């Protein structure tokens, strides 16, 4: 059931979370939320996330009672939290989506410095967000330079999709890493949105 009496909420989200947020909205009747996604590729340049959020607020925020930012810190060095404080917005707790999908406490307790993580989005978009931006399609010899300190690829699965699992396994093979799959569902994203 959607929260009552809280007014209209604009959710400014990372495009990598679009499917998950729309699924959570549908499952929980969160019809008081309007979603606007920013390009997921901004993660390759975290310094560009806050300017994009500022532009989105200028373009879209009028007429809303509240603002929710569906980003964690995401490499911004606290800039997203500063933006939220300035605009009276809430945001998702944690350093990144891997932590809030897995659950902040579980993720911190694992302390997996040798793991490279994929979500459903990254399994689906591996070539567009990893292979090509890092030049691995043109210079495959760079693989060990980028990924030599990783031991395994951990796929944090939001859905139970065998095709995505297969893509994640292929990504692990391409990177020369052992493969592990953990079903997380939507993790801490659901309660975060339920409060919006």
The answer to whether the beta carbons of residues 88 and 126 sit under 8 Å apart is no
The reply to whether 129 and 86 lie within a common domain is no
Report if residue 138 sits inside a domain.
Answer: yes
Indicate whether 88 and 151 sit together in one domain.
no
Query: Same structural domain for residues 83 and 156?
Result: no
| Structural domain contains residue 2 | no
Q: Within this chain, do residues 25 and 13 fall inside the same structural domain, yes or no?
A: yes
Mean pLDDT of the chain: 93
pLDDT for the residue numbered 69: 97
How many domains does one find in the chain?
A: 2
Residue 3 covered by a domain = no
Of 134 and 111, the structure prediction assigns the larger pLDDT to 134
Residues 71, 106: one domain? no
Closest CA to 123 of 73, 158, 85, 88: 158
pLDDT at 159: 97
Q: Which domain holds residue 55?
A: 9-97+188-194
Cα angle at 194 between 190 and 195, to 5 degrees?
A: 125
Res 6: pLDDT? 65
The answer on pLDDT for 5 being more than 60 is: no
Q: Which residues contact 124 (CB under 8 A, 6 or more apart)?
A: 164, 167
Q: Indicate whether 1 belongs to any domain.
A: no
Q: What is the mean pLDDT of residues 42-56?
A: 95
Residue 36 resides in a domain: yes
- Residues 78 and 83: their CA atoms lie apart, in Å, by 9
**Residues 62 and 124 placed together within one structural domain of the fold:** no
42 and 90 within one domain: yes
103 & 89 share domain: no
In sequence order, what are the beta bridge partners of 90?
68
144, part of any domain: yes
Cα angle: 176, vertex 181, 186; to 5 degrees: 130
Q: How far is 162 from 150, CA to CA, in rounded Å?
A: 24
The backbone torsions φ and ψ at residue 37, rounded to the nearest 5 degrees and listed phi first, read: -105, 140
């Amino acid at each position: 059931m959607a929260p009552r009496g809280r007014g209209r909420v604009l959710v400014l989200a990372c495009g990598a979370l679009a499917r998950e947020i729309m699924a959570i909205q549908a499952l929980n009747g969160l019809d008081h939320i309007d979603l606007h996604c920013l390009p997921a590729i901004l993660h390759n340049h975290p310094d560009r996330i806050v300017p994009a959020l500022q532009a989105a607020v200028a373009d879209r925020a009028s007429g809303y009672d509240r603002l929710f930012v569906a980003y964690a810190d995401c490499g911004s060095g606290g800039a997203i939290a500063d933006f939220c404080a300035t605009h009276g917005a809430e945001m998702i707790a944690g350093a990144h989506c891997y932590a809030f999908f897995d659950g902040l406490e579980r993720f911190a307790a694992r302390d997996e410095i040798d793991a490279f993580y994929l979500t459903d989005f990254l399994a689906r978009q591996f070539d567009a967000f990893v292979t090509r931006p890092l030049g691995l399609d043109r210079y495959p010899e760079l693989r060990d330079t980028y990924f030599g300190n990783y031991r395994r690829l951990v796929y944090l699965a939001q859905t139970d999709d065998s095709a995505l699992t297969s893509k994640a396994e292929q990504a692990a093979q391409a990177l020369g890493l052992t493969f592990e799959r953990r079903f997380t569902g939507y993790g801490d994203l659901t309660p975060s949105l339920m409060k919006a």
